[in-house]
Amino acid sequence: MARLSISNLTKTYNNGVKALNNISIEIESGMFGLLGPNGAGKSSLMRTIATLQVPDEGSINLNGIDVLNEPESLRRVLGYLPQEFGVYPKISAEELLNHIAVLKGISKAKERKELVGYLLQKVNLYDKRKKAVKSFSGGMKQRIGIAQALIGDPKLIIVDEPTAGLDPGERNRFHNLLADVAESVIVILSTHIVDDVKELCSDMAIMNEGEIMYKGSPQNVLSELDGLVWEKTVERNTIDAYQKNHKVISNKMNSGKSVIHVLHHEQPEEGFVQVKPDLEDVFFAKTSASIIAD
């Protein structure tokens, strides 16, 4: 059973932005979703765990490895797919994976060949292994990204915003890949897409403005909002009024009209229907400043 414990992690950037504000969190094997809006500090946290950024304070420990002081040991058991995953020009998929396999300590050419072949098949790119990765579509590139993160039997896999820009089919394939490996290792999936977490994760945290707003299972967080979410379809031009008077947590368009969700312990006014909360409601509820303040 792998365990990643993070305690009191703090990072303030030069411009005064607190990217990480005293974060403490425990993560165990399985798929862990880190949900938060853009700029919440997710990537800072991911990068810090991946030894790419040094925090001002705090500690990180993976199965006894003191990550901040022994970055090299962590890197040996890490698979990392950053938010931005580019490739060298003119280097083929096979060459790239082969290179990263060498970096991950797989020194025997034969073993590498087998592993790279296996991963390429797994991500369904074996036929295109001789082609320059640069020429791949976004989804194919992302699959190469996950393939490289899987090299070397990592104990900790971090994937940062992996599904942004993928079409539904690509996204599905991607989820399956992750689910496959997540049985015995920790997979941290950072995303702002609620459905990613909903579909994949048994454990999750919601992050905003450098702080963990919630940690727990998706089910638990949903039950927190049980009976508190009300929905109404309204005219677009009346939204301002609703927002003034109610805790509007979301506002979506449906057939040209706005569907708003409001948080309230009883029916706020005529026309609101109680709905079963979903993760998106939780996300908005936990990250929207006006609601947290209340």
Partner 1 sequence: MFKEFYSREIKSGLQQPMIYVFSILLGLLAFGAVSNDQIVIGGSIGNIQRNSPHIIMKMGLVFSLLGLFISTAFFNNAALRDFNNNFDDILFTTPIRKKDYFMGRFLGAFSLAILPFLGIYLGFILATFIAPAMGWVDPEKMGPVSIAGFMANYFLTIIPNIFISGVVIFSVASIFRSTAISFSGTMVLFLGYSIALSFSSDLENEMLAAMVDPFGLSAYNLDSKYFTPQEKNTLIPGFNSFITYNRLVWLIISFALLKVLYGFFSFEKRSGKVKKEKANKKDNTIFTKPIIYGHFSQFTDIAQCYSFTRIHLKSILSSNTFKILILFSFVQLIAILMEGYEYMGLKSYPVTYMVVEDIQNSTMIFLLIIMVYYAGDLLWEDRDNHLNEVIDASPHSSYVSLFAKYFAINVSILIIYASLSVLGILYQLGSGFTSIDLGTYFLAYALNIMPMIATWSAVLMLVHILINHKFIGFGVSIVLMFVLELILDGLDISSRMLDIASAPRITFSDISDYGPSVISSIWFNAYWIVFGIIVLLISGLLSNRGTSQSLLKRIKIIPQKMDPNFMGGIGTLFIVWLSIASFIFYNTQILNPYKTDDETELLQVQYEQKYKQYEGMLSPKIVDVDYNVNIYPAERNIYTVSQLKLVNENKESIDTLMYTYNDEWEIKFEIQNAVEVLHDKELNVKQFVLQKPLKHRDSLEIVIHANYITKGFKNSQENTMILENGTFFNNLVFLPYFGYNPSFELSDRFKRKEHNLPKRKRMPTLNEPCGAECEQNYLSNGQSDWITFETTISTSSDQMAIAPGSLIKQWTKNNRNFYHYRVDHKSQNFVSFNSGKFEVAKRQWKDVSMEVYYDQKHGVNIDKMLDAIENSLEYYTENFGPYYLKQARIIEFPRYANFAQAFPGTMPYSESFGFIVDLEDEEKNNVVDAVIAHEMAHQWWAHQEVGANVQGGTMLTESFAEYSSLMVMKKASDNDDVKMRNFLKYDYDRYLKGRSYELEKELPLREVENQMYLHYGKGSVIMYALQDFIGEDSVNAALRDFLTEYKYKAPPYPTSNDFLRHLQPRVPDSLQYLIVDWFEDITLYDYRIKEANLNEIDAENYEVSLQVEAKKFKSDSIGNEINIPVKDWVEIGFYKDNDEKELFYTEKIFLEKESQTIQIKLNEKPAKAMIDPKRLYVERVINDNSKKL
Residues that bind partner 1 (CB under 8 A): 47, 50-54, 72, 75-76, 78, 80-82, 84-91, 95, 98-100, 102-107, 111, 114-115, 117-118, 121, 126-128, 130, 145, 148, 152-153
For every residue of 217-236, DSSP letters joined together read -HHHHHHHTTTTEEEEEE-G
Question: Please, which residue, 51 or 258, has the CB nearer to partner 1?
Answer: 51
Q: What is the nearest approach in angstroms of partner 1 to the Cβ of residue 114?
A: 5
Nearer to partner 1, 50 or 205 (CB): 50
Q: How far apart are CA 239 and CA 118, in angstroms?
A: 53
User: Which residue, 86 or 271, has its beta carbon nearer to partner 1?
Assistant: 86
Give the Cα separation of 155 and 1 in Å (integer).
Answer: 10
Nearest to 138 by CA among 120, 113, 115, 161: 161
What is the Cβ-side half-sphere exposure of residue 287, based on CA atoms within 13 angstroms?
24
Please report how close the Cβ of residue 179 comes to partner 1 at its closest, in angstroms.
Answer: 15
Q: Which residue, 21 or 73, has its beta carbon nearer to partner 1?
A: 73
* Nearer of residues 149 and 221 to partner 1, judged by Cβ: 149
- Output the smallest distance, CB 27 to partner 1, in A: 18
Question: Least distance from C-beta 134 to partner 1, angstroms?
Answer: 9
Residue in the block written with tokens 């969190």: 25
Let me know: does 213 contact 292? Beta carbons within 8 Å.
yes
Residue 289 CB, nearest approach to partner 1 (Å): 27
Q: How many residues does the chain have?
A: 294
CA gap 65, 277 in Å, rounded = 39
